[in-house]
Structure formats: structure tokens, C-alpha cells
Amino acid sequence: MPLYTVSHVDNLRVCVVMVGLPARGKSFISHKIVRYLSWLSIKTRVFNVSSYRREEYREQPSADFFNPNNEESKVIREQANIDAIKDVIKWMNEEEGCVAILDGSNVTKRKRAMVAQILRDNRVEPLFLESFCDDEAIVKSNIMDINSTSPDYAGKPPGYALEDILTKIKYYETHYEPMDLVDEKELSFIKLINVNSQIIINKIESYLESRIAYYIMNLHIKPRYIWLSRHGESQYNLEGKIGGDADLSERGMKYARRLKDLVQKYVPNHDKLEVWTSTLRRTQQTAQFLPNPKKQWKALDELDAGSCDGLTYEEIAQRFPEDFAARDENKFEYRYRGGESYRDVIQRLEPIIMELENQENVLVITHQAVLRCIYAYFMNSPQEKSPWMSIPLHTLIRLEPRAYGTNVTRIKANIPAVSTYKEKGTSKLGESQNSAHVMAGEVITSDVANQ
Amino acid sequence: MPLYTVSHVDNLRVCVVMVGLPARGKSFISHKIVRYLSWLSIKTRVFNVSSYRREEYREQPSADFFNPNNEESKVIREQANIDAIKDVIKWMNEEEGCVAILDGSNVTKRKRAMVAQILRDNRVEPLFLESFCDDEAIVKSNIMDINSTSPDYAGKPPGYALEDILTKIKYYETHYEPMDLVDEKELSFIKLINVNSQIIINKIESYLESRIAYYIMNLHIKPRYIWLSRHGESQYNLEGKIGGDADLSERGMKYARRLKDLVQKYVPNHDKLEVWTSTLRRTQQTAQFLPNPKKQWKALDELDAGSCDGLTYEEIAQRFPEDFAARDENKFEYRYRGGESYRDVIQRLEPIIMELENQENVLVITHQAVLRCIYAYFMNSPQEKSPWMSIPLHTLIRLEPRAYGTNVTRIKANIPAVSTYKEKGTSKLGESQNSAHVMAGEVITSDVANQ
Ligand SMILES: Nc1ncnc2c1ncn2[C@@H]1O[C@H](COP(=O)(O)OP(=O)(O)OP(=O)(O)O)[C@@H](O)[C@H]1O
Ligand SMILES: Nc1ncnc2c1ncn2[C@@H]1O[C@H](COP(=O)(O)OP(=O)(O)OP(=O)(O)O)[C@@H](O)[C@H]1O
Ligand SMILES: [Mg+2]
Ligand SMILES: [Mg+2]
């Protein structure tokens, strides 16, 4: 089996340096970039500057700490920044990190010049990313979001976060210098103005940087849902076979009809919903009763099982015992002979994720492995786990991307179907009864009316 | 065979309105966008405003026509603009055009507001694309380029173009208002400053528009070559079989060794060359003697022949006569059962093209169908022709993208190989002796030293 190389041969090391006042989405964007690049197997990590403050100041830094005349706290903040950068460089040198995100505020030109200098001296490309926002409505809603859900303030008394953020904003505003298109034109930077109503991209040359810019360009923060479903049960599912291009079973057809009702009942703007399917019969048959506009994507086709296409797991275990074991061993990397690995599927799904980030009202009807990959992106699930996630048949999944994570609701159609889940170490299908497969943040609902 | 739908379900109609002084690359960018989107099966066309001038003014418009006090010529120019927009709308309504490019200068705010209005009234999204350039070196070099190679001035006496461009620039400079980030903030626009040293993206929401922005972001105009090669002759090639993952034949190995010499001899910066292969053995074996850094792409794997993988064309014609005929009939759209069509291959090659546009020194070692698709992009070859292009084994291809087309040099390694070319209507391999396969702009060279 050939080894798949995604590593950037050019050995590019990039540090994305966040710039901006508090409550401008700096941490939000940092985590999005990490999620996206990690999902693409590019080694990426956030370095949160405030966590580098010396212990005694980390816990209760508010009010006095952010008093502009407090010289001591200024020194501490500078030191935290330098400590964080040191760690960035160490991580790149020792662990072959590729993209670091320095999540701090870096609000002055002097500071940015200093950061750029240190990074360049250590052969790391600085890419500044400023979130500038003077739209009061956005800032207000961000503060509410942070106040109610940010993990930074978990366990604090109510109102604490609010006051802290406002103090911080006031403090940073005293010396905030937005990135300057003239004075700082030698720096590579991306400047977002009011989310993405205007984006300025300066001196970006490497492909990786242009890709980060493109990704950010497609992000938006309007509330929305993303709808996912596997196709209905197929003839191959009944026979325990993988791959192929089979028709739906009778129960699968029933799900296809039920799906129309579920969409009407649960999708708020179902008349504006767009439906995406793969090019295979079972997803198109599942979509057939939906009146919505449809788009077929080859990129949504099931993971290609190559020479194992059309076999049952038992047959694979018998005929290709070594492959069967190798796949169980490293399911993410294992590529079927003449077929694909999970890693391969992720590569071809990248345009889908990009378009999903940009869109607002989409139902994706696809296949088990493909759904796992899409799910892994939204749930930030690690590569070694995502191929083992359980995503049952006949279930409509609602994703609700929020500032600090994604909420999931699984709506069971209550139409029986075989299980297509294969646990590690066996060739039998079906899940053991412990529900360890339910992930944090998931809600399981049954569609009551249809029980 | 499922029908593949790429049409944008949202029925988006976009008109890219070019803005800028003469010799700023407006026509260049227009044609790039058309080439890129057409290759992706999105119906796109350029409407060149100057070609809408009434006959009597089209031929010899210089000097007096561009005199700022010439009222008549002003009216004619306005009229040409309106005629062009009318045609844009007609084309969208009657021929389901998706993206039109209005290649004019649109240098005033008043004019841009008017254009936006007419387009919106006709349910077409205006996307302004300004090329602003105050770098004199770039403008000078552009003028030289236009003077020597622009098809706009083909057949004109030497010096004519130069004078004409300078007159035009002087004229338009008198009333040029660059796009204004404040006054025009309600318009969707992309502003390029000095090629792509700075890019401003304003109010871009649809996915298609963000993709156009991303594409333009990756363009550059530095002179460069792109190097292409098929893998060396494989065991399967010898047997006339398609697909598979065979090793190189003895002659294929010889080519792999020779390739190292060819690269040293012909590639100017061969020490900085990056080599891209597919994940299949035959491309990796072809690259094995090159000392350069390598990157493996699943997206460069050969077109997947599905159930025909491993067969000869004769066997396919015998076992699946209907498929064989259907493929000859429409080779671009035909998708092998359980496999791919040329259209599918293009979709998965898109990230490769994007990265190739961005890069400067790459050798791509891949497969016949994949190479045809890459070649089709650079040569702007129509979809129905590209699957029939002849790209022989044991040949290093040099592409030189220029302002108005791509120059090609094919360097034959002079190592014999079977032909893998199948003409329409036969299952036999080999090319008939007329050399109709050489395309405009192609130069065929033999590597003399190695003959
Ligand atoms: N580009 C953006 N511009 C403005 N707000 C954004 C942007 N992206 C995300 N947000 C919003 O920002 C909020 C999250 O703020 P976040 O915690 O990331 O702020 P921060 O800049 O890291 O603040 P601090 O400096 O206090 O750490 C969310 O409500 C999110 O919707
Ligand atoms: N973004 C860009 N900025 C500046 N020059 C560019 C850009 N893109 C391409 N060019 C260069 O522009 C030249 C081609 O000019 P082109 O004929 O497209 O000008 P034009 O703006 O259409 O002029 P005119 O108004 O006379 O039609 C080429 O030399 C090309 O390298
Ligand atoms: Mg933060
Ligand atoms: Mg032009």
C-alpha cells in the first residue's frame, strides 16, 4: 500500500498572529483555522497568550490589571507574549508543527513589528490576521455570546465575564492601532472588517496562506443549521455488503418518504433548502420525494473500497486477512487496494466543507464514511476516532455551529434498519449495547408523531 | 449511468465588470476567468466593450477618438457599453449563460452605478473587478507585452499599438476614479492593487464569487514554466490494458533514468523544482531518480475505469459494447460503471490547477487522461476535444503561460514506447500518421544528445 504524503514539501512554517480588540472573534477564528487545517492533516495549534501569564495574575486579572497606568501588568503581558512565541518556535522545531496561531491582541504597530522580527529570525513566516469591527451590534452580540458560553469564563459568577470584557475593551482601546495599509505594507496580513463585509489581503504569496485567506473569506456568523442524513437502507446493507450502487430496500424507501415529512416538520426554511446527494442511486432515491433543488456531487460518493467493493466484511476477513487487520489497526490511513482511505476522502471533501461554510440551508444526503468525515470536521473529532463514529441509518442529523462548538440533534425516523456499524476486531456488524458512541453535545430525539 | 449535474441550483447569474486604465491586465484577467470557469463546466463568456463600437469607429479609433473634448466619441463609447450589457442579458436569458465578463474600462463612479443598476434590474449580480496599478515598471512591461503579442493589434504596423495605448491611457487618466471603499461600499467588488500585492474584497457573499476571488488571488504574472510528463511505459501499457497499478516496463525504467538528465538539461532552476506524482506505482517509479522533493496526490491518479479496470479496449468492446459506443459518442461525459468521467476528473483536479497557478517550478508526473485535463486548462481546449488529445509516452512537456496564450514545447526522450492512443470508432491502439494532433502553439523537439 503506497504511503500517502500530504506534508508540504516546501517545509513552510507559518505563524498566524491575531490582531484586534476583545470580543472581535479572535479566539473563534483561531479555533476554526485549527479545526480546518487539522482536519486536512496539517499540524496546527493555538497558543493563547493570556494563558502564559504568570500564575498569580492569571486567575483574577480584571480591573486593576487592565488599568493603563499599571506598569507591572504591562510588563507581564509583554512577557506572556514572548513566552508564547518561544513555545511556538519550540513546537515547530521539536514537533514539526506547521501552522501556529498566536491568539493575543497585538494591538500596536510596535508590538507587531517585534513579533514579526522574532518569528522571521526563527524562519517562521508571520501572517497577521486582524479582526476589525466597529459595528456595535456585532460587538454587543459577541459580548453576550462570550458571557453566556465562552469556556474562558466557565465557573465564574454571572455578570463577571461581562464586566471583565468591557474593562478589557476599554483598556485596549486606549492604544489600539488598526493595521495600516501604508505603514505596515511590508507585512503579510489579512484584515477582516465587520466579519467579512470587507477583507483586505496584503502580500500573501504562499499557497497555504492564500488557502487560509480563502477559508476565512467563506466563514460567516449568521445562525444556521446544517442537515445531514445517510441514504435509506439499501439492498447491499441488507446483505451486509459494502460499496456497490444498489437500490434502496423497502424500508429504505419508507425512510425516503418519511424524510419529506421530517424536513417539513423540522427544517425552518424548508422551502429554501438545497439538497446535495452523491452520484449513487441510494442517495438519489433517498432524496427523490423532496421537492427541493438538488445537486449531485461525485465528491460525496462513498469511500471507494477498491477490490473489496461488493464483499461482506466476513468475505474481506477471509480473502484478505492482512488487509482486514491493517484496516482495523489504522482505519484512518488504511487505503483499500485500488480504493481510498479516510484521509483520501477528506481531501476530496474539502470543497464541500468550504461550500458548506459559505451556505446557509443545506441537507447533505450521503454515505457512512463520508458522513463521518463531514461530522469529524464539525465536531472537531480526532483522526484516529472519526472512522469509528456511529452514524445510524434512518436518522436526520441537525448541526448547529455555535461560537465555541457545534450542537447536534439526531432525529430518529423510527423506521427499523440493519446496523452497518462494524466494531474493531470483528467482522460482524452491529453495535454493542453501551451507548459510548454518543458524543459530547449530542441530543438524540425520536420523531414522536411518527412512532 | 447517472447524469452528472454541476449546474448551480441557485441559478446565480453574475456579471464581472472590469474596471481600470488601459494596460492593467483587464483582458488578461477576463480570459483567465473564462478559461477557468469554462473548464469547470460553468458557462462563461467575455463581452469586449470596444468591439461594440459602430463599425466606422472600430477600425481606426486612436488620437482624435480619445480626445477628451470629442463629444461624439464619448456618446459612442457609452452606447458601446450599453450594447454590450444588452448582449450579456440576452445571452443569460436565451442561452442560460452563468457568468459574463464585461471587459471595458468603467473608470467613473457614475458609470459603475449605472452598470450596476441595469444589471440588477435584470436579475444579474454585478461583481466589479478593478485592476489598479501605479507601479510604473509593471505598466511599462505590460505595454511592451501588448505591443508585441496582443491579438487586439495583430496586423498593425510596428509602433502603432504603443502609441494607441499611450493615447488611451492619457485619455482615461483624465477622469479615472479608482473604486472607493467608502462611497462604493454597497457594491460587491474585488480590487487588485499592483497585480496581487494587495487585494480588497468587498461584500462578497455567494460561493461562486468567493471562488472567483480566490482564483484571482492565486494568479501571478511572473514568467515561469510548468513541466508535465506521463509516467514511463508500464507493463499494462505493453499489454494494452487500462487502469491497474502496474510497474514500469524495461523501457519505462529507461525513461525514468533519462528524465533525470532531461530535467537537468532543460529545467532552468532544477535544483528548486518540486515533483508531483500520483499515488500509483508507475508515476512514482518514473520520479524515482529525481533528487527533488516530491509530493503524492491522490487527485493525480488516473481516471478510474471502474468495472473496466484491467481490461484492454478490445475486451471492453466485447464485454460492454454499449458502454464502449457510449464512451466514443461522448467521451467527456461518459462515466465508467463504478468509475469516473473526464468531467469527474476535472472536478478533482481543481485544487491542483489552483496550486499550479500559484506555484512557480513544478514537474507533474501523471497519467494520460489526467494530463489531458491539465493540458486542456492551459491550452483552453474545448471539452469535446480534450479527451481526444494525443499526449505520447516518454515526452517531457514544457508549458510557458503567456499573456495571451500558452507556449508548448514537447521534448521527446527518444526512447521507444507503445502508443496508448485510441482513435474514435476503433478498439485498436495507435495513431494514424497524419499529425493533426499537434495543436496551435506547440513545438516538438527531440532531445538531440540522447538520440
Ligand atoms: N470575524 C469576526 N468578527 C467579529 N466577530 C466575530 C468574528 N468571527 C466570530 N465572531 C464572533 O465573536 C464571538 C467570539 O468572540 P471571541 O471569544 O473569539 O473574542 P476574542 O477576540 O478572542 O476576545 P478576547 O480578546 O477577549 O479573547 C462569537 O460571538 C462569534 O460569533
Ligand atoms: N492584475 C494585473 N495587474 C497588472 N497587470 C496585469 C495583471 N494581470 C495581467 N497583467 C498584465 O497585463 C498585460 C495584458 O494587458 P491587457 O491587454 O489585459 O490590458 P487591458 O487592461 O485589457 O488594456 P486595454 O484597456 O487597452 O484593453 C500582460 O502583460 C499581463 O501580464
Ligand atoms: Mg480570545
Ligand atoms: Mg483589454
* Measured CA distances, A360 to A120, A267, A418, B65 (Å): 39, 12, 32, 50
Atom 24, ligand 2: residue with shortest CA distance: B22
**Which is the closest atom of ligand 1 to the Cα of A103?**
22
A contacts of B285 (beta carbons < 8 Å): none
User: Atom 15 (ligand 2): residue with closest C-alpha?
Assistant: B25
Min distance B195 CA to chain A CA atoms (Å): 10
Return the pLDDT at A434. Answer: 46
Other beta carbons within 10 angstroms of residue A135's beta carbon come to 13
Report pLDDT for B446: 65
pLDDT digits (tens, 9 = 90+) for B8-41: 445 789 999 999 999 999 999 999 999 999 999 9
Question: What DSSP designation does A312 have?
Answer: B
Looking at residue A44, its amino acid is: T
State yes or no: pLDDT of B421 exceeds 80: yes
* Cβ–Cβ gap A198/B202 under 8 Å: yes
Q: Which three cell numbers stand for residue A257?
A: 418518504
pLDDT in tens, A25-44: 999 999 999 999 999 999 99
What the block records as the C-alpha cell of B107 is 473608470
Atom 18, ligand 1: residue with shortest CA distance: A25
Q: How far is the CA of B406 from the centre of ligand 4 (A)?
A: 18
Q: How many CB atoms lie within 10 A of CB A376?
A: 23
Question: From CA A310, how far away is CA A332, in angstroms rounded?
Answer: 21
How close is the nearest chain A Cα to the Cα of B72, in Å?
39
Please state, in angstroms and rounded to a whole number, the distance separating the CA atoms of residues A150 and A170. 20
Domain residue ranges of chain A, discontinuous segments joined by +: 14-217, 225-445
- Ligand 2 atom with minimal separation from the B142 CA: 29
**Range with the poorest average pLDDT among A237-246, A369-378, A431-440, B247-256:** A431-440
A169 ligand 1 Cβ < 6 A? no
CA–CA distance, B154 with B161 (Å, rounded to integer): 9
ipTM of the complex: 0.91
Mean pLDDT of A312-322: 94
Average pLDDT of span B47-64:
71
Distances (CA, A) of B331 to B334, B345, B436: 5, 12, 19
Distance A25 CA to ligand 3 centre (A): 7
User: pLDDT confidence of B437, banded at 50, 70, 90?
Assistant: low
Q: Whose CA is nearest to atom 9 of ligand 2?
A: B25
Torsions phi, psi of B277, nearest 5?
-125, 175
Q: Do A367 and A303 form a contact (C-beta atoms < 8 A)?
A: yes
For residue A119, which of A11, A8, A12, A15 has the smallest C-alpha distance?
A: A15
* Residue-level pLDDT at A57: 56
How close is the Cα of B210 to the center of ligand 2, in Å? Answer: 22
To test the ligand 2 pocket, which listed residue (B143, B144, B221) has its Cβ within 8 A of the most ligand atoms? B221
Instruction: Please provide residue B320's backbone torsions phi and psi, each rounded to the nearest 5 degrees.
Output: -130, 65
Query: A242-256, B96-110, B418-432: which has the minimum mean pLDDT?
Result: B418-432
Ligand 3 centroid distance, CA of A77 (Å): 14
Per-residue pLDDT tens digits for B260-313: 999 999 999 999 999 999 999 999 999 999 999 999 999 999 999 999 999 999
Torsion sign, CA atoms B59, B63, B69, B74: positive
pLDDT at residue A58, as a whole number: 56
User: Which one is the CATH code of A225-445: 2.40.10.480, 3.40.50.1240, 3.40.720.10, 2.40.30.170?
Assistant: 3.40.50.1240
Residue found by looking up cell 494591538 in the block = A107
Whether B63 shows a pLDDT value over 70: the answer reads no
Topology of domain B14-217, per CATH?
Rossmann fold (3.40.50)
The three-state (H, E, C) secondary structure of B359-417, written as one string:
CCEEEEEECHHHHHHHHHHHHCCCCCCHHHCCCCCCEEEEEEEECCEEEEEEEECCCCC
Please tell me the predicted confidence (pLDDT) of residue B450. Answer: 41
Cα distance from B396 to chain A (closest Cα, Å)? 22
Mutate which of A6, A8, A189, A201 to disrupt the B interface (most B C-beta within 10 Å)?
A: A201
Q: Of the listed B130, B164, B301, B302, which one is catalytic?
A: B302
Q: Does the pLDDT value for residue B447 go beyond 70?
A: no
Task: Copy the grid coordinates of residue A218.
Answer: 467563506
| B54-58 average pLDDT score | 58
> Would B14-217 and B225-445 be classified into the same CATH topology?
yes
What is the C-alpha separation between A58 and A78, in angstroms, rounded?
A: 14
The closest of B350, B328, B331 to B340, measured between CA atoms, is: B331
Q: What is the pTM of this model?
A: 0.92
User: Number of residue pairs across A and B with CB atoms under 8 Å?
Assistant: 124
A17-26, A141-150, B118-127, B188-197: range with lowest mean pLDDT: A141-150
